[in-house]
Amino acid sequence: MDFLQFKESLLEKLGQVEQDLSNPEITSIPENLQKYGQEHTRLTELKELFVSYEKALGDLHFLDEMSAQKEISEEEYVPMKAELELSIKGYEFDILKKLVPADELDNRNIIIEVRAGAGGDEAGLFGGELMRMYMRYAERKNWKYELLDIAENGVHGIKTAIFKIRGKEVFGRLKYEIGVHRVQRVPETEASGRIHTSTATVAVLPEVTDIDVVIDPKDLRIDTYRAGGAGGQYVNKTESAVRVTHIPSGIVVACQNERDQHQNKEVAMNILRAKLFESKLMEQQKQMTDARRSQIGSGDRSEKIRTYNFPQNRVTDHRIGFTTYRINELIDGDLDELIDKLIEFDLNERLENIKI
């Protein structure tokens, strides 16, 4: 994409914003001062990015000319060209992020629900690996995570795991993980060495508050029961586990991870709010005519988004046709390359309808 096509309208818009900021009739209103001030910052940063981007493009053109005229050796040319191309790619990505307005939910903390799908015990093992993958990614990003609830399957895997991740731009980076993840490999229990295909479903819910979702207590049925677990003095002694049913929607949330009934109820209510908010967002997206929503970031849990093929050391994201042969690194939480590709694809889709 030719990003320089936006430069002229950028400079025009920046000039207009600076003119507005010098108008006392506009800046005398505090809300306007904040609004125009933020827009001025965004446009100024964009202008600086364009300056650096154009310089890098010019340097690359000059380098190519030097190479063509044999004024520089091939040994010098190749690494210098690679470094400049990497810088240009970085500037393009940064410009793209500035051009496209951020989703207001992107800075929210999240609740992730990983659920084993088809494939029996192997699906549960894979679900557990996905849970650990996201936790390792959180550690790499200096985010904090907290396990809210887990139901294990008895073979070191999970039936369901729900955990929270807190940090900067958490939802903005992990919202693309929503959907069905498929694994292809030979299970440890498979004596004949046949490759099995199993699945796990990932839901990524932005954390919400009472302001975002209002729940009428009359719409809830709350049941308590004895928590299960690995044993110990706190297991099966009191009815600390809580199951909350939202009658109008039919959504059921259970939590037994905390030792106190009140804490379990609070966690369950937080998860319920997030699920109700997700349903609300899904309904809004269904009513939108933007075709992009059907391609990426749609929030459709039934969509098969990615395949992890262990025999071939391959991970493929089917939405953008991106394949990498670093499966062990990805499973260990090294997700930035893949997530950056998803963000770039999404931003390019949205940029088509953007005016500065």
58 Cβ partners below 8 Å, 6+ apart? none
**Phi and psi dihedrals of 305, rounded to 5?**
-105, -30
Sole residue written with tokens 């992990």: 174
| The pLDDT of residue 336 | 96
pLDDT tens per residue, range 134-182 = 999 999 999 999 999 899 887 789 999 999 999 999 999 999 999 999 9
Q: Residue 283 pLDDT > 80, yes or no?
A: no
Mean pLDDT of the chain: 87
Element spanning 165, H or E: strand 158-166
Count helices and strands (H / E) in the chain. Answer: 9, 11
Q: Is the pTM of this model over 0.85?
A: no
* HSE-CB of 54 using CA atoms within 13 angstroms: 9
pLDDT tens per residue, range 203-228 = 999 988 766 788 888 999 998 887 76
| The pLDDT of residue 182 | 96
